Amino acid sequence: MLNVNIKSKAFSSSEGEYLAVLKDLSFECADRSFTCIVGPSGCGKTTTLRCILGLDSDFTGSITVAGETGSQKVSAVFQEPRLLPWRTVEQNVRLALKEVEESSLDALFEVLGLSAHRAFYPTELSLGLARRASLARAFAVEPSVLILDEPFVSLDEDTAIRLRKLLLKVWSDRSCTALMVTHNLTEAIALADRILFFSGDPARVGGDYLINVPRSERDEETITSIRRDIKNTVNSPAASGDR
């Protein structure tokens, strides 16, 4: 579904230096798959997502969505909810919608636990509820590809676990292709079919790990076992993360 082939991406510093961020970065995400990108801070993960979203087109290479026609939609969930404070939860979700079946929207609010908060303003929400609202906005457009940039960062672990489960439920029901950046290896193992490890300076894919264990069987012991296998088999510093 998603094909990323970035030959090079660089920034110019204030001193006029040429700073290469990405080089020979190439990967594909299969239709309806869930892929996580893991890597150290500053290695180009968010830059990659910005290129995919079209927020940064100053790179050499190509990014394509299979069968791209106008009906193929790419939506995003960022680290911050980015809700307009003067609009209610429902108004924020409807911003990107031209037409929507009310039953579909009702079901989305219901599964994300937002039915009672549709008329709330962002300042009236906890951070966890605001993150749910940003998920609702992204899924409401029925995207072909969903991009997530550390959507659960800064949440306590109990809240993050609940939101991961909600994300998986909505994603599995709506069958889009998901690509998510996270620093949390445990989170990546819980969510993904496949984990890409970014490494190097400039960044490239330094490791690629497929997870064949069904998500329903990924308990604490299994996740620990997968972490151990990743550390032993993936030749990338990011594979030995401590979270």
DSSP E strands, 30-159? 34-38, 60-65, 74-77, 145-149
* SS3 track for 193-239: CEEEEEECCCEEEEEEEECCCCHHHCCHHHHHHHHHHHHHHCCCHHH
The answer, yes or no, to whether residue 8 has pLDDT greater than 70, is yes
pLDDT band at 83 (very low <50, low <70, confident <90, very high): very high
Residue 7 has pLDDT above 70, yes or no: yes
151, part of any domain: yes
Phi, psi angle pair for 193, to nearest 5°: -85, -25
Tens digit of each residue's pLDDT (9 = 90 or more) over 35-72: 999 988 888 899 999 999 999 999 999 999 875 545 57
Q: How confident is the model at residue 100 (pLDDT cuts 50, 70, 90)?
A: low
Look up the domain containing 110 and give its range. Answer: 2-187
Tokens encoding 227:
């972490």
Each residue's pLDDT tens digit, 194-240: 999 998 778 889 999 999 999 999 999 999 999 999 999 987 777 76
Q: Is residue 100 part of a domain?
A: yes
Angle, CA of 217, 219 and 223, to the nearest 5°: 100
Rounded CA-CA distance 48/10 in Å is 11
Write down the pTM of the prediction: 0.91
pLDDT at position 42 is: 81
Share of the chain above pLDDT 90, in %: 70
The answer to whether residue 31 sits within a structural domain is: yes
Residue 229 domain-assigned (yes or no): no
pLDDT value of residue 71: 56
Residue 194 corresponds to which tokens in the numbers above?
A: 């496949």
122-164 pLDDT, tens digit each: 999 999 999 999 999 999 988 999 999 999 988 899 999 999 9
What are the CA-CA distances from residue 200 to residues 9, 158, 182, 188 (Å)? 14, 33, 17, 20
- 238 located within any domain: no
Confidence of residue 175 (pLDDT cuts 50, 70, 90): confident
Q: What is the mean pLDDT of residues 19-32?
A: 92
Prior bond of 202 cis (ω within 30°): yes
As for how many domains the chain has, the answer is 1
The CATH number of the domain holding residue 138 is 3.40.50.300
Residue whose structure tokens are 């939860």: 89
Taking each helix axis from N to C terminus, what angle separates 102-111 and 157-174, rounded to the nearest 10 degrees? 150
Task: With respect to residue 231, please indicate whether it lies within any of the assigned structural domains.
Answer: no
What pLDDT does 200 receive?
75
Does 94 fall in a domain? yes
Residue 223 in domain? no
**Cβ pair 173, 112 in contact under 8 A:** no
